[in-house]
């Protein structure tokens, strides 16, 4: 799955690569337009939550010793603790699939499966749990396009709504930018 290059690409577009819980749910027919609209709306909300939880770096304050800076750091630590607790509660109450290497963007996904792989041409929905503090997964309807001998499954997604595709592209770009910044300045690595 990894070609050790600086840029993670899938279907000739920038992609997110991580080790995340992934689940394929076969479906004999694609979702109807109303169900698809609901999926798009929830995917947009999940992406917004995930993007908010991603570390975009510290905001530079004019004076690190000011009372405002100290208060913001204190609130940040409390919020981080709260999110960790919520993540622990969610993991106990809603077990997730075992995390596997996955690469995805608005066009499709590739992941290593530990279960019976979908047959090429099979329709279904790929669920990707992007963060332990986000209860809902991203859900992408699509078609399985193949599987390699080492267990890597490829899926091509149905056309995503522009807002979802755009936000997913921004998340992929920010992750790529942080990865590059981490190589240039190892102290800033994600």
Kindly state the greatest CA–CA separation across the chain.
60
Residue 4 banded pLDDT, cuts 50, 70, 90: very low
Render pLDDT for 78-99 as a digit per residue (tens, 0 to 9). 877 777 777 678 766 778 899 9
DSSP class of 66 = S
Confidence of residue 3 (pLDDT cuts 50, 70, 90): very low
Q: Is 133 helix (H, G, I), strand (E, B) or coil?
A: coil
Which residues, including other chains, have CB under 8 Å from residue 178's CB and lie 6 or more apart? Answer: 55, 57, 188, 190
By three-state DSSP, how is residue 19 classified?
strand
Enter the tokens of residue 101.
């290497």
User: Is residue 61 left, alpha or beta, with left meaning phi > 0 and alpha meaning psi from -120 to 50?
Assistant: beta
| Helix-then-strand count for the chain, H and E | 3, 8
The pLDDT tens digits for 24-67 are 999 988 788 888 889 999 999 999 989 888 865 555 555 667 78
What residues contact residue 70 under an 8 Å CB cut-off, 6+ apart?
A: none
CA 120 to chain centre: 24
Retrieve residue 168's tokens: 């997913």
């Amino acid at each position: 799955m990894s070609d050790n290059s600086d840029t993670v690409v899938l279907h000739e577009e920038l992609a997110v690569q991580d080790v995340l819980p992934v689940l394929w749910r076969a479906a004999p027919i694609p979702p109807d337009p109303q169900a698809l609209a609901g999926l798009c709306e929830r995917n947009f909300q999940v992406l917004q939550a995930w993007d908010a939880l991603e570390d975009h770096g510290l905001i530079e304050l004019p004076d690190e010793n000011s009372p405002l800076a100290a208060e913001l750091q204190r609130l940040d630590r409390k919020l981080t603790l709260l999110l960790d607790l919520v993540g622990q509660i969610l993991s106990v109450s809603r077990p997730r699939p075992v995390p596997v290497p996955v690469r995805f963007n608005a066009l499709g996904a590739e992941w290593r499966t530990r279960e019976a792989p979908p047959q090429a041409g099979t329709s279904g929905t790929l669920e990707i749990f992007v963060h332990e503090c986000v209860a809902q997964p991203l859900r992408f309807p699509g078609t399985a396009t193949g599987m390699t001998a080492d267990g890597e499954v490829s899926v091509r997604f149905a056309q995503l709504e522009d807002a979802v595709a755009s936000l997913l592209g921004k998340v992929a770009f920010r992750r790529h930018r942080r990865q590059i910044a981490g190589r240039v300045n190892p102290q800033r690595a994600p």
